[in-house]
Amino acid sequence: MIGRHILVVDDDPAMRDLIGTYFNNHGYEVSTAPDGPSLKRVLNARPADLIILDLQLSKENGLDLMRSISADSQVPVIIITGQRRDEPDRVVALELGADDYVTKPFSLRELMARARAVLRRSERNDGRSRDFQQRIRYRFAGFELSVRMRRLTSPDQTLVKLTAGEFNLLTAFLRAPQQILTREQLIAATRMHDEEVFDRSIDVLILRLRRKLEADPSNPRFIKTERGVGYMLTAEVETVR
């Protein structure tokens, strides 16, 4: 992980300096930005490996900024949110493509641990996994997923953008088609945390993936809910090496 570029977006100079100094001291290269325009200038100058974004920006909507990041790039994002009452914002940010979150007050050690976990997932998805895994392609219901390219193509040959979490979740389903996967198995497959009762990260990822795969996400054909147990991919899957 040494030398990876972290971009910290926070309108509080003290918080930017605190996070930036901590990551610098652990071998990361850090850039900081107080707002959206500054973020874009930094990214235009040098791509980031990870963005740490505080949703509570004073002069702009952090969710709008999260939406812009997801639309313009596939850079993984960790969001910083306020107290538990801000759960709706967390859920929306996860739906928009955030990969993880921390809630204030948080420890820098926790933030570092989450950053390292997200970067590991991103590294695997960038094609640094074992060679035989890289060559695998999955075909299902007219879709094709290239593991090496992390590219999902729809039945009409349209490219479907996936976040790191969505890619990991879909891959878990494709490796075990027509089998019920428990929530715990999916959490392990996506490397997401499940420390708090209100954490609905897996449910949010399922919803996001359904929106990209299903003609009617409210009445899904491919990813079925097995109530009280977990979820199942019902489609037949062909593995091509």
pLDDT in tens, 20-29: 999 999 999 9
Structural domains in the chain, CATH included, are 5-127 (3.40.50.2300), 131-240 (1.10.10.10)
Which class for 155: exposed (0-12), middle (13-18), buried (19 or more C-beta within 10 A)? Answer: exposed
Residues 6 or more apart whose CB falls under 8 angstroms from that of 107 comprise none
Residue 160: what residue type? V
CA atoms within 13 Å, Cβ hemisphere of 110: 13
pLDDT at position 130: 45
The whole-angstrom separation of Cα 185 and Cα 66 is 28
Q: Which residues of the chain have pLDDT under 50?
A: 1-2, 128-132, 193-199
Q: Taking the complete model, does pTM exceed 0.75, yes or no?
A: no
Long-range contacts of 216-222 (CB under 8 A, 24+ apart): 221/141, 222/140, 222/141
pLDDT at position 134: 53
CA distances from 124 to 127, 133, 150, 163, 235 (A): 6, 10, 10, 13, 25
pLDDT at position 129: 44
CA atoms within 13 Å, Cβ hemisphere of 222: 21
DSSP 233: E
Residue 121 near residue 150, CB atoms below 8 Å: no
pLDDT at position 115: 95
The whole-angstrom separation of Cα 184 and Cα 202 is 9
